[in-house]
Structure 1
Amino acid sequence: MMAQATQLAKRFREVHLDGDWVAATNLRAALSGVTWQQATKKIGSLNTIAALAFHINYYIAGILKVFEGGSLDIHDRYSFDAPPIGSQANWEQLLNKLWTDAEAFAAHVQQMSEEQLESAFTNEKYGSYQRNIDAMIEHVYYHLGQIVLLRKLVQETPVH
């Protein structure tokens, strides 16, 4: 039987980087080939693909900081404060950070002991490490569905 930490890391990598078991895709595949113009194309009142990619990484990077010994400094009110994307280079920089942080996050998870997974995440009110890792996996799946739909919409809508 695979250790709990290894299973969590595998599930996290599946949704972010290389899986297709649950959603028939993953975040990397869904964002592959998306241009910066498509990523920033506004459809009605919906978030842009770029805003969602930033939002996902905002939480991953914030929790990764805790895994690396830092403090928990993320706040919901800042989770969509994406920097402007005005070029393909800006978009690729955001994506590269997303992939790098996701792999670092998974690597940390994979090394966790059962005791750490069960321990309180920075404060008991936030639940255990395992609960927060599960929440990050679920959070990515939630926004992955939105990104897949937005990608279809922006590909059908001319970008000006």
Structure 2
Amino acid sequence: MSRNKELANRLAEVLLNGGWIANTNYKSQIEAVTWKQATQKIGTLNSIAALTFHVNYYLAGIINVFKGGGLEIRDKYSFDMPPIESQSDWERLRSEFIINSEILVQEISELADSKPDEPFADEKYGTYLRNIEGVIEHSYYHLGQISLLKKMITETDK
């Protein structure tokens, strides 16, 4: 298996279909959450919806680079989520997240063999490989938070 397909599989595992590392993935976590649960705040913690938006923000920004655009995302905007006021708002965010996940996995799997070693958008951002691995690590970090929030929310719903 090529390095790019392996990277794509690792990303798909955390975002869409895996269970090996965390025994779950984003898709299975967020599909089983209502909009009320997704927006429920626990103290000062981010909500499940906010974390889903945050990771999706980075997925969309990275996809833009893969499609030939610039790196236009900025950390300071990564939690600027529009209000989620209904189930359809939540379903729209979930759908966008899943679609962006699928697109990025596909883009990575189709990379030329030399691409992971090339600069990502600008040399100051490191290589494609560094950014792909960063997305995987960042996604696992927030997946853990979502899993814990979901457990805390379902316990309070009992």
Scaled by the length of structure 1, the TM-score of the pair is 0.96
Unpaired segments of 5 or more residues in structure 2? none
Distance 1:128 1:21 in 2: 26
Aligned partner of 1:136 in structure 2 is 135
Which letter maps to 1:135?
A: G
Amino acid at match of 1:69: G
The sequence identity of aligned pairs, in percent, is 50
Looking at structure 1, the residues matched to 84 and 105 of structure 2 have their Cα atoms a distance apart, in angstroms, of 27
Name the count of aligned residue pairs: 158
For structure 1, list consecutive stretches of 5 or more residues without a partner in the other structure.
none
Give, as a single letter, the amino acid of the residue that structure 1 aligns with 2:31.
S
Shift of residue 51 of structure 1?
0.2
Q: Which moved more, 1:110-119 or 1:48-57?
A: 110-119
Contact 2:119–2:126 (Cα < 8 Å) also in 1: yes
d(CA) in 1 for partners of 2:64, 2:32: 29
- Give, in whole Å, the separation in 2 of the partners of 1:70 and 1:121: 11
Q: Which amino acid aligns with 1:154?
A: I
Partner of 1:121: 120
Alignment-derived partner of residue 22 in structure 1: 21
Q: CA deviation at 1:32?
A: 2.1
Whole-angstrom distance in 2 between the partners of 1:85 and 1:34: 13
When the two chains are superposed, the root-mean-square deviation of aligned CA atoms in Å is 1.1
After superposition, where does 1:34-49 map in structure 2 within 5 Å? Answer: 34-49=33-48
Q: Distance in 1 between matches of 2:110 and 2:23?
A: 27
Work out the CA distance in 2 between the residues paired with 1:122 and 1:71.
6
Contact 2:31-2:94 at 8 Å conserved across structures: no
2:68 is aligned to 69
What SS is found at the alignment partner of 1:114?
Answer: coil
Q: Which amino acid is 1:108 matched to?
A: E
Q: CA deviation at 1:158?
A: 4.4
CA distance in 1, matches of 2:38, 2:153: 8
Question: Who is 2:52 aligned against?
Answer: 53
Aligned equivalents of 1:28, 1:40: Cα separation in 2: 17
